[in-house]
C-alpha cells in the first residue's frame, strides 16, 4: 500500500492512531487525554458522520463486549467520565464502519517520567499496534506505591532497564526497592562518553552528534536489545526504560515499531513525543536550581556555556535526530528490520510472529 494512502494526524503534538484509506471511506484518527482523576477528553477527526464511543478495560475487547458510552455524537471531541483504574480503552466508530481504538498514550502516574504506551499506531498493512502490551519510559525510581499497583494491574511482566550500573545504583528502580511487581532485568556495560557535546556550537552539530550516538547504541546495547526482542517473541507484556526515556529507549522503540511494520514517519513522530511530555524547559529549571535540585555543579556550568538551540537538542527529542539515525542504519545495515535480524536474534519467521502477537 502506498504511504500516501495513510493519514497521519497530530493533536497536542502527538501522533495519533491512524486508519488507512483502504480500510475506511474516510480515515479516522483519535486521541485520549486525561483531564482529571475521573475524566478523559476524546478527540477525533471525523466531523461529518455521527460517532459512537464504547469502552472496555480490555484493550482487545470485541465490539459486542464493550460498554456503549455515547452514540450519535456530532463534532470532534467529547468529555467522558473515566477513572484512572481500571485503564479504559475506547472504540470510536461511525455507522458505516469507520473506527479507531484509542487510549491514553501518557500513563497517569504520580511519580512516572515519560511513561507511555506505544500502542495504537498503524502498520503499513493496516493493522494497529495493540494497546497495553509495550511501554516505554524514563527512570522509574520515583514511582509511588499507587503507581506500582497500577502498572502491575496492567499485566507488565518485565521491565528492561537500559541504564548503566552507575545509573541504576544512584536511582534504583522502584519495583526493586519494593521487592514486588514485574521482573526488572539489566546488563552491566560502560556508558559511552558524551563529552564531545561540550564542543558543539550549532543545532545541526548537536543533531549529528546524537544521531551518531544512536547508531552506536546498537553495539553498546546489543545484549539489552536482544533480550528485549526475545521477551517480545515470548509474547510478554513489556516496559523498557533508560534515564530520560528518549535516547536508548527511543532507539529501542524505533526498532520495535519498525519491526512491526509501522511507517518511518510515525516512528520518528513517536520519538518526538518525549519533548512534548518532558520538555527541555523542565530539565533547564532543575539546572537553574543546581546543586539543590541534584544536578552536579559541573553539569550546570557545562549547560550554561552551551547555546540554547544545542541544549534543546540535547535535552529534547528533535525528530531530525531519529530521522538521521535511521537513515544511517538504512545505509549501514539495510534498515532497522535487517539490523534486528543481523544483531538481535530475529529471523524472518520471528518478524511474522511478532506482528501476529502485537498487531490487531
State yes or no: cis peptide before 297, omega within 30 of 0.
Answer: no
Give the whole-angstrom CA distance, residue 337 versus residue 164. Answer: 26
| Residue whose grid cell is 556550568 | 301
Q: Which residues contact 319 (CB under 8 A, 6 or more apart)?
A: 268, 269, 271, 272
Catalytic, out of 148, 242, 339, 359: 242
At 209, list the grid cell: 552528534
Specify which residues 40 forms β-bridges with.
Answer: 34, 80
At 237, list the grid cell: 507484556
Give the whole-angstrom CA distance, residue 210 versus residue 215. Answer: 9
State yes or no: cis peptide before 107, omega within 30 of 0.
Answer: no
160 annotated active-site? no
Give the whole-angstrom CA distance, residue 233 versus residue 353. Answer: 7
Quote the radius of gyration of the chain (alpha carbons, Å). Answer: 20
Residues acting as catalytic residues: 242
Amino acid at each position: 500500500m502506498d504511504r500516501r494512502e495513510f493519514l497521519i494526524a497530530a493533536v497536542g503534538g502527538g501522533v495519533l492512531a491512524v486508519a488507512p484509506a483502504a480500510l475506511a471511506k474516510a480515515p479516522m484518527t483519535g486521541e485520549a487525554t486525561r483531564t482529571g482523576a475521573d475524566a478523559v477528553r476524546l478527540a477525533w477527526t471525523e466531523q461529518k458522520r455521527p460517532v459512537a464511543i464504547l469502552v472496555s478495560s480490555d484493550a482487545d475487547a470485541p465490539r459486542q463486549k464493550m460498554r456503549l458510552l455515547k452514540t450519535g455524537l456530532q463534532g470532534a471531541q467529547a468529555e467522558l467520565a473515566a477513572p484512572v483504574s481500571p485503564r479504559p480503552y475506547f472504540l470510536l466508530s461511525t455507522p458505516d464502519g469507520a473506527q479507531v481504538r484509542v487510549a491514553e498514550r501518557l500513563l497517569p502516574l504520580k511519580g512516572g517520567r515519560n511513561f507511555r504506551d506505544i500502542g495504537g499506531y498503524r502498520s503499513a498493512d493496516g493493522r494497529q499496534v495493540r494497546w497495553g502490551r509495550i511501554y516505554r519510559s524514563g527512570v522509574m525510581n520515583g514511582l509511588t506505591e499507587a503507581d506500582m499497583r497500577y502498572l502491575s494491574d496492567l499485566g507488565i511482566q518485565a521491565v528492561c532497564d537500559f541504564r548503566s550500573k552507575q545509573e541504576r545504583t544512584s536511582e534504583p528502580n522502584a519495583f526493586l526497592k519494593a521487592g514486588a511487581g514485574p521482573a526488572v532485568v539489566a546488563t552491566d556495560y560502560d556508558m559511552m562518553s558524551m563529552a564531545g557535546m561540550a564542543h558543539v556550537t550549532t543545532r545541526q552539530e548537536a543533531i549529528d552528534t546524537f544521531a551518531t550516538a544512536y547508531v552506536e547504541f546498537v553495539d553498546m546495547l546489543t545484549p539489552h536489545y536482544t533480550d528485549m526482542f526475545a521477551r517480545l517473541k515470548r509474547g510478554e507484556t513489556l516496559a523498557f526504560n533508560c534515564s530520560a526515556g528518549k535516547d536508548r529507549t527511543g532507539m529501542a522503540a524505533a526498532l520495535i515499531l519498525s519491526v512491526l511494520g509501522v511507517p518511518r514517519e510515525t516512528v520518528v513522530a513517536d520519538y518526538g513525543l518525549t519533548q512534548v511530555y518532558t520538555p527541555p524547559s523542565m530539565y533547564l529549571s532543575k539546572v537553574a536550581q543546581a546543586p539543590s535540585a541534584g544536578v552536579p555543579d559541573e553539569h550546570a556550568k557545562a549547560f550554561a556555556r552551551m547555546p540554547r538551540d544545542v541544549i534543546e537538542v540535547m535535552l529534547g527529542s528533535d525528530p531530525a535526530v531519529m530521522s538521521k539515525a535511521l537513515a544511517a542504519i538504512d545505509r549501514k545495515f539495510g534498515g532497522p528490520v535487517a539490523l534486528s535480524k543481523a544483531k538481535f536474534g530475529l529471523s524472518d519467521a520471528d518478524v511474522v510472529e511478532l506482528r501476529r502477537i502485537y498487531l490487531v
